[in-house]
Chain A
């Protein structure tokens, strides 16, 4: 009997070991780091315990810039990508021929390497001495003067980043929403149609409420994902995001940790915990706001 119990723990041992060392211990450790003032990476010593790291981060212009970039990115991309995914999914649901074909194409960005494909976006939008680039060629048709989207005005840079982010996150949202739409009871819609209900009314009164839990799920995961934006920005603007003025909170954490500006795990920890608190707050607000509005089940 004793031995049988031991066996269960033995099977779990590798997972417990890895999770313990690389997930549970770091969780507590990062909190400790964030309160250790004047931590020295080389000698692994610190001066005292307190809130200095948080004060430092909150006053750091790079952090404030990263916070602003991230917030704007969240505000722009979450509603746009969710809305666009909804419209595309409804369109996809309404056709019968080529449905599989479109579904496959739409999913393609999900499996691509963010860093590699980001370079293509960079080239499409960049303006170099050799060429104004494809995007400016298109804008020129409408009589708009060439803009450098990669190293130019802030709004242009934010536009490219938002565009690429939406391009990257849409496949997942379309996939989730098309499967949600496929799960809506066809009989309800047929019955409404026989009663003479118009397609718009059917959509807003039947379909939308039926898939609202999935939309809500996408909004929450969308917020969390957008707050953690980083790789997409690196792909477009390069490794030195602070110089480009396009850093994100996660980027700030990594820059504090490593690289030319790195070696400050305490500041990195404080910033990471601030990010975590922001995400937690937003998620809780979302949960409260959705209460009663979303059909449960």
Chain B
């Protein structure tokens, strides 16, 4: 009996080797673009353009492209804009969804379950459909090329309200009643007791929303045509079209590295949280 279980047939061993080959090949395919962008960003402008056959390494790395990226185009401004946009949008969204989740989870009022059901049904509305009217609304309000116009449409998320409500409901009722007996107002209970208990969910929501904000492209592109308000995605596209001149690829890659770095750092630090959060229902695009 023991012999049968421990014996590995040839076919299994072959499959095992194939599995390793596949994993390594796909791993290289994933990492290679990152390697190439870093490598190209370190090649000198002249050296890069002299390479008719691209080289896989460089013997004279230079940081001049990074200097160019920050001086020839307003990369620093795009960067700061995106930071402001990300922080404010995520912050406002946290307030809005916390209040709603609390109302759905803890307060009682007529029609609560019906309203929650209506909220959930809103998740089915595709963003592409509503962007047209939002564009017109923001234009009519004179909010194009402003942070308000950029931020307003994305400060609510039904999915995150749902996620947070589920979490709030897991906190025992007794805590709430104890707070009520002590005369603690609801808002104080919410932010001093409930939110700290549910911190893991709030952190996950914050990270996922921040990544979404950092990468957002469609809305910022529609709503801004003044480079003062460009976010990084729109900025990098602008750099590509008329930035350093089409052939200064190394400087372009330096900008790409600068834009990608914050996300990669956040991913490495919070990778467990991000992957668990996405597995619970985060969807890209």
Leading 3 A-B pairs by shortest Cβ distance: A8-B109, A26-B133, A91-B19
* Inter-chain contact A88/B109, CB cutoff 8 Å: no
Among the listed stretches B61-69, B122-130, B171-179, B193-201, which one makes contact with chain A, having 4 or more residues with CB under 8 Å of it? Answer: B122-130
Q: Hey, which bits of chain B sit against chain A, CB under 8 A?
A: 4-5, 9, 11-12, 15-16, 18-20, 22-23, 26-27, 29-31, 33-34, 36-37, 40, 49, 51-54, 95-97, 99-100, 102-104, 107-110, 112, 115, 119, 122, 125-126, 128-137, 152-153, 155-156, 158, 161, 186, 211, 214-215, 217-218, 221-222, 232-233, 236-237, 240-241, 247, 249, 252-253, 255-256, 259-260, 263-264, 266-267, 271, 274-275, 278-279, 283-285
Q: Which residue of B lies closest to A88 (CB)?
A: B26
Contacting residue for B54 out of A15, A131, A199, A231, CB 8 A: A131
Mostly, the B contact residues are: helix
What are 29 residue pairs bridging A and B, where the CB atoms are less than 8 Å apart in the complex? A5-B109, A11-B100, A14-B156, A22-B153, A23-B125, A26-B130, A27-B129, A30-B130, A30-B133, A33-B132, A91-B23, A108-B267, A111-B264, A113-B233, A115-B233, A115-B236, A116-B259, A120-B253, A137-B53, A172-B278, A172-B283, A175-B275, A176-B279, A235-B237, A238-B240, A250-B128, A254-B218, A258-B135, A268-B132
* Inter-chain contact B52/A132, CB cutoff 8 Å: yes
A179 at the interface (CB under 8 A from B): yes
Contacting residue for B11 out of A132, A199, A229, CB 8 A: A199
Q: What are the interface flags for A158-198 relative to B under an 8 Å C-beta threshold, 1 for contact and 0 otherwise?
A: 00000000011100100110010000000000000110101
A82 at the interface (CB under 8 A from B): no
Q: How far is the CB of A78 from chain B (nearest CB, A)?
A: 13
Contacting residue for B259 out of A6, A113, A123, CB 8 A: A113
**Within residues 249 to 294 of chain A, which ones have a CB less than 8 A from any CB in chain B?**
250, 253-254, 257-258, 265, 268-269, 272-273, 275-276, 279
* Inter-chain contact A15/B96, CB cutoff 8 Å: yes
* Inter-chain contact A119/B103, CB cutoff 8 Å: no
Q: How far is the CB of A296 from chain B (nearest CB, A)?
A: 19
Q: How far is the CB of B61 from chain A (nearest CB, A)?
A: 18
Q: Which residues of A contact B4 (CB under 8 A)?
A: 194, 196
Mostly, the A contact residues are: helix
Q: In the complex, A179→B274 CA distance in Å?
A: 14
Total contacts A to B, CB within 8 angstroms? 262
* Inter-chain contact A113/B132, CB cutoff 8 Å: no
A221 at the interface (CB under 8 A from B): yes
Contacting residue for B96 out of A14, A114, A117, A234, CB 8 A: A14
Among the listed stretches A46-54, A55-63, A65-73, A99-107, which one makes contact with chain B, having 4 or more residues with CB under 8 Å of it? Answer: A99-107
Contacting residue for B108 out of A4, A117, A137, CB 8 A: A4
Contacting residue for A130 out of B15, B19, B49, B137, CB 8 A: B49
Count residues of A near B (Cβ-Cβ below 8 Å). Answer: 93
Given A19-B158, A115-B215, A134-B54, output 6 extra A-B contacts at Cβ < 8 Å: A18-B155, A23-B125, A25-B133, A26-B132, A88-B22, A231-B285
Also in contact, A120 and B256, with CB within 8 A (given A132-B52, A228-B128): yes
* Inter-chain contact A19/B52, CB cutoff 8 Å: no
* Inter-chain contact A116/B20, CB cutoff 8 Å: no
Q: Which residue of A lies closest to B96 (CB)?
A: A14
Q: In the complex, A279→B127 CA distance in Å?
A: 13
Q: Which residues of A contact B27 (CB under 8 A)?
A: 102, 105-106
Also in contact, A111 and B23, with CB within 8 A (given A4-B108, A120-B37, A254-B218): no
Also in contact, A254 and B222, with CB within 8 A (given A18-B96, A113-B233): yes
Q: Which residue of A lies closest to B138 (CB)?
A: A22
Q: Which residues of A contact B103 (CB under 8 A)?
A: 8-9, 11-12
A225 at the interface (CB under 8 A from B): yes
Contacting residue for A18 out of B22, B109, B156, B237, CB 8 A: B156
Q: In the complex, A107→B278 CA distance in Å?
A: 10
Contacting residue for B256 out of A102, A116, A268, CB 8 A: A116
Q: How far is the CB of B239 from chain A (nearest CB, A)?
A: 9
Q: Which residue of B lies closest to A221 (CB)?
A: B283
Q: Which residues of B contact A193 (CB under 8 A)?
A: 5
Q: Which residues of B contact A14 (CB under 8 A)?
A: 95-96, 99-100, 156
* Inter-chain contact B30/A167, CB cutoff 8 Å: yes
Q: Which residues of B contact A113 (CB under 8 A)?
A: 214-215, 232-233, 236, 259-260, 263
* Inter-chain contact B100/A12, CB cutoff 8 Å: yes
* Inter-chain contact A27/B130, CB cutoff 8 Å: yes
Q: In the complex, A18→B112 CA distance in Å?
A: 18
Q: Which residues of B contact A172 (CB under 8 A)?
A: 278, 283-284
**Within residues 102 to 152 of chain A, which ones have a CB less than 8 A from any CB in chain B?**
102-117, 119-121, 123-124, 128, 130-134, 137
Q: How far is the CB of B210 from chain A (nearest CB, A)?
A: 10
A297 at the interface (CB under 8 A from B): no
Q: How far is the CB of B128 from chain A (nearest CB, A)?
A: 5
Q: Which residues of B contact A12 (CB under 8 A)?
A: 99-100, 103-104, 115
Q: Which residue of A lies closest to B18 (CB)?
A: A91
* Inter-chain contact A8/B23, CB cutoff 8 Å: no
* Inter-chain contact A179/B54, CB cutoff 8 Å: no
